[in-house]
Amino acid sequence: MKIIPIKTKIFQEGENLFRFIITHCPKLSEQSVLVITSKIVALAEKRTAIIKNSSTKEKLIRQESQSAIKTPFGWLTIKDNVPMMNAGVDESNANGKIIMLPKNSFKTASELRTKLKKYYKIIHLGIIVTDSRTLPLHSGIAGVALGYSGFRGLKDYRGTKDLFGRIFHFSRTNIADSLATAAVLTMGEGNEQQPLAIIEAAPIQFCNRTYQADLKISIQDDMYRPLFLIKNKK
């Protein structure tokens, strides 16, 4: 698998995202995956705001969240079924404003895929809209797929055998988030100015229809749920 980050000019709020992509990516190969940071998707949608004080910021975070809990480090939230800080409301690389997450990353990925397939005259193309998140009990951030299109987001091992003949009952690989993490590593989080990346020769299965629910799991069925219900004992 090969990942190629794309250096671009600074994306401006309200700019046409499709034109931006074809300007900086003169060619996309068959069976490649185009990775797009959610920040420029949100800027294209003018998903920005100016925060005057902590009260207006809190109101915005609550509006953007499925649930929100205040902590000493910020707001612990669930947004689009993904746990994250501050519902993705971000002040970095925002030129004095804050940038929210895109309205619907799956829809954006699907619409861009249709246009780009036609423009580049290719049949199989994947699109991923990425963001960054922290993982519990781990330092640093890693990439996550907010939305994707054109390939299967999960690889299911259930019912197959491992090296020693044992049947898998639960194992599934999260393809979309794994690709997002690898791409975000090459794209960077600072002033690299690389909001796009192309993944070639990815070990994925291309498809025409993407199911948003593939990566979702209800909190009642999440294996980690009991951990967060246990009171800290010293």
Report in angstroms the alpha-carbon separations of 30 from 49, 115, 124.
38, 15, 6
Tens-digit pLDDT string for the chain (234 aa): 999 999 999 999 999 999 999 999 999 999 999 999 999 999 999 999 988 888 888 999 999 998 888 989 889 898 887 888 899 988 777 777 899 999 999 999 999 999 999 999 999 999 999 999 888 888 999 999 999 999 999 988 888 888 888 998 878 899 999 999 999 999 998 999 999 999 999 999 999 998 888 888 887 888 877 766 655 443
Burial label, 185 (beta-carbon count in 10 A; 0-12, 13-18, 19+):
middle
What fold characterizes domain 2-42+103-229? 60s Ribosomal Protein L30; Chain: A; (3.30.1330)
Sign (positive or negative) of CA dihedral 188, 194, 200, 206: positive
Q: Where in the chain are the domains?
A: 2-42+103-229, 48-100
- Angle made by CA atoms 200, 81, 67, in degrees to the nearest 5: 145
Task: Write the DSSP string, 94-157.
Answer: STTSEEPPPS-HHHHHHHHHHHHHHHHT-S-EEEEEEEEEE-TT--SEEEEEEEEESB-SEEE-
In this prediction, residue 221 carries a pLDDT of 83
